[in-house]
């Protein structure tokens, strides 16, 4: 027996005799392709082709298909092709292969690139409208759920709320405090370094205080929470959606918004101002440490400067924004979670979308608040 497949072509009059030999199996596929290509031109020249299968030692679907393709090529345009000497245990496979690939689906015409662009643009526009609709729907559903809870306070899922508070509030404290501490320290260091040139070092404290309390404290914390907890919400609700848990809840007469989403969003709304406060304090502390070790400004002076520089208004401006940012993060995370379809890929995509969208919206919201507070003189 040959260990390599062969294809012997012997012309006799009008008929081309093809004699495949050896193992015609997937393992030798490159040899098979070369062999069948090499006789391709000959096959076209003869009126009839016989395939003598008696020399084939092993055959699988792939080999059978390559032979069948040759015979189809030979049989086209009124000529004839036949298999002879087919061993019993190969005939079933050859018969099977003869049935397949008969209906080649019409190739779809390549779409016009301009219309494709227009299609994408239109789709994105409709998608944006849908996003806004979904956001507003979720806001409305949450509002209704809150009203429901106000009317029947016992219907609040207290256990769930406390558990979510623990997860996204308590457990987030170390990392939030660490990062805001570092950011406060970095801002202070930059302030001392650059302000020193024109002798305005003491204004560093004003900068750190105002920047941290008004903007950075809450913004950094909101972005971190969006990345840490928003993504978790989306993944959780998404996998619940995938495993039909949410459908199961609805069929038991429970509202998923009430049971799953309200405790999560409420926990965010409660936890984010607290985290923002802790973050701001950590940042001020970081700034104070830099002031002492890098700016040669003792703690007493730092605190006194801070006292002069900032008022409670700055603190209010920062902390007032936190619940709204939490609401946006919560709504985006939960509604993206509910948009997960069946596949794991869709879960990943929706989680990414959730984080990107909530960070974007948090920053936009921050900008709107800045305009608002400026216009009312806070």
Partner 1 sequence: MDQSQDLCAIRVRDLVVGFGPQTVLDHLSLDVRRGEILGLVGASGGGKSVLMRTIIGLIPRRSGTIEVMGHPVGDRTQDAATTWGILFQQGALFSSLTVRQNVQFPLRENLVLSQELMDEIAIAKLEMVGLRPQDADKYPAELSGGMTKRVALARALALDPPILFLDEPTSGLDPIAAGDFDALIKTLQKTLGLTVFMVTHDLASLTTVCDRVAALADGKIVAIGPMRELLQSEHPWVRAYFHGKRSQMLQHEMR
In what helix (H) or strand (E) does residue 92 lie, and over which residues does it extend?
helix 88-99
Only segment of 132-140, 171-179, 250-258, 340-348 that touches partner 1 (CB under 8 A): 340-348
Instruction: List all residues 6 or more positions away from 43 whose beta carbon is below 8 Å from its beta carbon.
Output: 16, 18, 49, 70, 73, 74
User: Min. distance of Cβ 185 from partner 1 in angstroms?
Assistant: 43
Q: Does 24 bind partner 1 (CB under 8 A)?
A: no
In what helix (H) or strand (E) does residue 48 lie, and over which residues does it extend?
strand 48-52
- Mapping DSSP onto H, E and C, the string for 44-77 reads HHCCEEEEEHHHEEEECHHHHHHHHHHHHHHHCC
Q: Does 144 bind partner 1 (CB under 8 A)?
A: no
Give the number of residues in contact with partner 1, rule: CB under 8 A.
Answer: 30
Q: Of the candidates 243, 265, 229, which has an alpha carbon nearest to the alpha carbon of residue 342?
A: 243
In what helix (H) or strand (E) does residue 256 lie, and over which residues does it extend?
helix 256-256
Instruction: List all residues 6 or more positions away from 40 whose beta carbon is below 8 Å from its beta carbon.
Output: 70, 73
Q: Which position among 136, 344, 364, 374 is part of the footprint of partner 1 (CB under 8 A)?
A: 344
Only segment of 23-31, 120-128, 284-292, 311-319 that touches partner 1 (CB under 8 A): 23-31
Ranges within 29-58 binding partner 1 (CB under 8 A): 29-30, 33
Residue 216's φ and ψ, nearest 5 degrees, are -65, -45
Q: Which position among 24, 65, 277, 302 is part of the footprint of partner 1 (CB under 8 A)?
A: 65
In what helix (H) or strand (E) does residue 211 lie, and over which residues does it extend?
none
Q: Which position among 17, 69, 157, 228 is part of the footprint of partner 1 (CB under 8 A)?
A: 69
Q: Which position among 342, 364, 368, 378 is part of the footprint of partner 1 (CB under 8 A)?
A: 342
Query: What are 275's two structure tokens?
Result: 């985290």
Stretch 79-118: interaction string toward partner 1, x if CB under 8 A: ----------x--xx-xxx-xxx-xxx-------------
For partner 1, the binding residues (CB under 8 A) are 25-27, 29-30, 33, 60-62, 65-66, 69, 89, 92-93, 95-97, 99-101, 103-105, 341-346
């Amino acid at each position: 027996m040959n260990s390599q497949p062969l294809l012997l072509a012997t012309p006799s009059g009008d008929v081309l005799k093809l004699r495949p030999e050896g193992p015609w199996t997937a393992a030798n596929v490159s040899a098979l392709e070369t062999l069948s290509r090499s006789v391709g031109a000959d096959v076209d020249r003869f009126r009839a082709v016989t395939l003598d299968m008696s020399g084939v030692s092993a055959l699988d679907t792939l080999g059978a298909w390559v032979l069948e393709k040759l015979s189809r090529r030979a049989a086209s345009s009124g000529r004839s092709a036949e298999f002879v000497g087919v061993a019993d245990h190969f005939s079933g496979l050859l018969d099977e292969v003869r049935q397949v690939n008969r209906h080649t689906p019409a190739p779809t015409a390549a779409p016009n690139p301009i219309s494709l662009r227009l299609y994408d643009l239109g789709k994105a526009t409709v998608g944006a409208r849908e996003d806004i609709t979904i956001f507003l729907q979720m806001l409305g559903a949450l509002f209704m759920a809150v009203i429901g809870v106000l009317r029947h306070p016992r219907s609040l899922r207290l256990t769930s709320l406390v558990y979510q508070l623990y997860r996204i509030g308590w457990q987030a404290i170390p990392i939030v405090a660490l990062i805001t501490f570092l950011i406060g320290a970095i801002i202070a260091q930059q302030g001392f370094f650059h302000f020193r040139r024109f002798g305005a070092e003491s204004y560093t404290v004003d900068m750190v205080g105002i920047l941290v309390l008004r903007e950075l404290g809450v913004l950094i914390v909101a972005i971190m929470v969006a990345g840490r907890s928003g993504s978790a919400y989306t993944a959780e609700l998404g996998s619940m959606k995938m495993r039909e848990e949410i459908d199961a809840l609805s069929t038991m007469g429970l509202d998923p918004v009430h049971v799953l989403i309200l405790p999560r969003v409420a926990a965010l709304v409660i936890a984010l101002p607290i985290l923002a406060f802790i973050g701001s304090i950590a940042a001020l502390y970081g700034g104070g440490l830099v002031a002492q070790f890098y700016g040669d400004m003792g703690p007493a002076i730092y605190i006194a400067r801070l006292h002069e520089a900032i008022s409670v208004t700055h603190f209010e401006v920062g902390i007032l924004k936190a619940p709204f940012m939490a609401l946006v993060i919560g709504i985006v995370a939960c509604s993206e979670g509910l948009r997960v379809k069946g596949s794991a890929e869709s879960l990943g995509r929706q989680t990414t979308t959730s984080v990107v969208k909530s960070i974007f919206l948090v920053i936009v919201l921050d900008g709107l608040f800045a305009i608002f507070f400026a216009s009312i003189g806070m």
